[in-house]
Amino acid sequence: MNSNEYIASGILELYVAGALSEEENEAVHAMMQQYPEVAAEVVAIENAIVTLTAATAPRDTSYVFEAVKQELNLSEDNRDDKVIPIQRKSSIFLYVGWAASIILAIGLIYSVLKTNELQSEIEVVTSEREALKDKVYQANSDLTAAKDLLGVLRTKDIISVPLGGQAVSPDSYAKVYWDKKLNQVYLDLQGLPDPPAGKVYQVWSLKLNPLTPTSLGVIEEFSADSDKVFDLANANESEAFGITLEPAGGSESPTLEQLYTLGVVASNP
């Protein structure tokens, strides 16, 4: 906790009010030694309480009565008429007022602390509510995207092309859904492992005779996408599809030694 957070926590007000344990007082004293701004804040709090209570603090006014007595030269020895002694009110009420001011100051400090605590709770609840709204929004978006994709994959014009694992990764597999009317392919890459650091998967449209590869693009966000479903444009007369592992950014031609999956288009409606 830095000095600003420590000051904002309200513990210094409790320190000045004497409401902390001995261990807590030592912790505050250590912070005052380490951070001059903390020590300055303690002094400011003490000055505020002194200012608040000064108006009701008892004052010694005995010298005023003595000065008046000497000026009038009144005494029982030089005058016949007697001076009725002034009965000074007990100062107990002044002390009570002074004590009440201290209690009021402590009450104000406690009120500030409770207000800060309540504000913090409100901020936490607000943050949690916003996070929940984001999750609901994301869930709705994912559900909408899933429904849209399912609708596309169920279209009768979609060509499904399974891609089997090759020598470099026999257990790998993938599937391509090709919409020739829209010149779009949808890739289900759940069967591919995460690529190593600095590598990306690159998708190829292939003509088989002679073998002519055309890059459809690289899958940049493979690891971050939990569904592993991607879409790419494909305006080619593809006879097969392949996926290779390439350096980040992709390659101009496929690295056949890193061919992970390959599948031939069975028919062209």
88-106, pLDDT tens digit by residue? 545 555 555 556 666 666 6
Predicted pLDDT at 199? 95
Predicted pLDDT at 162? 94
Summarize the confidence of residues 61-77 as an average pLDDT: 55
Summarize the confidence of residues 58-74 as an average pLDDT: 56
Percent of the chain with pLDDT over 70: 65
Predicted pLDDT at 24? 87
Tokens of residue 191, six digits: 């069967």
The class that CATH gives domain 158-264 is: mainly beta
Q: Which residues pair with 187 in a beta bridge?
A: 176, 230
211-262 pLDDT, tens digit each: 999 999 999 989 988 889 899 999 999 999 999 999 999 999 999 999 999 9
Greater confidence (143 vs 208) lies with: 208
Distance (Å, whole) CA 3 – CA 31: 8
Q: Where do the domains of the chain lie?
A: 3-123, 158-264
Q: Indicate the pTM of the whole model.
A: 0.47
DSSP letters, 203-258, are EEEEEETTEEEEEEEEETTTTT-SS-EEEEE--S--SEEEEEEEETT--SS--GGG
The residue among 78, 70, 6 whose CA lies nearest residue 42 is: 6
Predicted pLDDT at 174? 95
Distance (Å, whole) CA 52 – CA 132: 46
Chain mean pLDDT for the chain: 78
Greater confidence (86 vs 5) lies with: 5
Predicted pLDDT at 76? 47
Predicted pLDDT at 75? 47
Least confident piece of the model among 29-33, 80-84, 177-181, 203-207? 80-84
